[in-house]
Amino acid sequence: MASSFWTERPVPLWLNPPLDAEARGASERTGPVRRHLAASADSQFFIETFGFETAGEITEAWADLVARSLEPNVFMEPGFALSAAQHIARADRPTFVAAWQRDGSGPRGRLVALWALVIPKSVIGPHVATLWCHKQSALGVPLIDAACAEQVFAAVFTWLADAFPRLRVLVFPKLVRSGATFPRLLAHALDSGLEWRLLDQHERAALFADSGELNLSKQHGEQLRRQRRQLEKQGRLAVHSAGKPGEIRDAAEAFLALEERGWKGARRAALLSDISRAAFARTMTRRLAQEVPHRCADARRAADRDGHRAQKPRARLLLENRL
């Protein structure tokens, strides 16, 4: 596994110029926005919005998009996103925005993008929308098919401007500048004349599950070795890996109990200290444990069918050390 550090910055984009009085009156007369819209009449994409209650209906297409995504984001995989949305207040649940490419393979076509947006409800219409980031999430990028990323950005932004005429700003929190999404997003903003800003900045560690080596700075490497020596003073230290769903379930329960016995439990900040967050953690880990083996099997079958070596799963494990 490899660790690295990245810079995160929320990136707000200004979608629509302010409306003058005449345009504002016209927009107010159009009535409610339809929830199923194409980006344009001649567009090759179909844009659809839905809530958590129906998001589970597209999990097969959703999982297929994960394998084709421009930038891996485990927090936008069905196992995490659906579990997170299930265990938060109904009013805080995101709106899922799906882009389908019209390819003749069904009434919708091929799923090429999935965004989760927080669009505040307002009598006069929303002015700011935000990419949804659950409290336990560490990455805020949508899932976008790498083969048509530029076209997808154009289609989704066009749809947003048409569907929400009063929307002024779209914020991407926890966006990695060194990732594949940021330069594509910036290129779209420049090409389409959208105003954009970078706000805030901080670094955090990342541990990538699909790499075979661990890269640490000299300082962090020594800190890790020192902490290991301190643990070894308490008794025999062993490392075990859980791979099967039952093993992952038991390992997750052991982690929850360990966290609750530490300082987080004393401060009522542990997952087990909150019924909803504990239910989310259990649901999420068990869903992901079921999904990952199926995805690996599908990749192997696809490789055998296409006659080439399967690509390693691009799932990314992001860990934050708050000890």
Q: How many CA atoms lie within 13 A of 242 on its CB side?
A: 16
Specify the DSSP class assigned to residue 71. S
Give residue 10's pLDDT band: very low, low, confident or very high (50, 70, 90): low
Q: Which residues, other chains included, contact 71 with Cβ-Cβ below 8 Å and sequence gap of 6+?
A: 141, 144, 176, 179, 180, 181
Tokens of 67: 């394998």
- The domain 2-23+32-208: what is its CATH number? 3.40.630.30
List the one residue out of 76, 12, 82, 15 whose CA is nearest residue 52: 82
Q: What is the pLDDT of residue 115?
A: 95
Q: What is the pLDDT of residue 30?
A: 33
**pLDDT per residue over 90-128, tens digit each?**
888 999 999 999 876 667 889 999 999 998 777 566 788
Residue with the larger pLDDT of the pair 15 and 23: 15
Tell me the average pLDDT across 141-146. 95
Beta strand 169-176 pairing with 128-131: parallel
Tokens of 273: 């200290």
**pLDDT per residue over 207-235, tens digit each?**
665 555 566 678 888 998 999 999 899 89
For residue 203, the surrounding DSSP H or E stretch is: strand 202-208
Give residue 167's pLDDT band: very low, low, confident or very high (50, 70, 90): confident
Which DSSP string do the residues of 111-137 spell out, in sequence order?
EEEEEEEE----TT--SEEEE---TT-
Tokens of 171: 């914020």
Side chain identity at 127, as an amino acid letter?
H
Which DSSP string do the residues of 6-58 spell out, in sequence order?
EEEEEEEEE-SPPP-HHHHHHHHHT-SPPSEEESSTT-SEEEEEE-HHHHGGG
Number of H helices, E strands in the chain: 10, 10
pLDDT higher than 60, residue 194 = yes
Tell me the average pLDDT across 25-40. 40
pTM of the model: 0.73
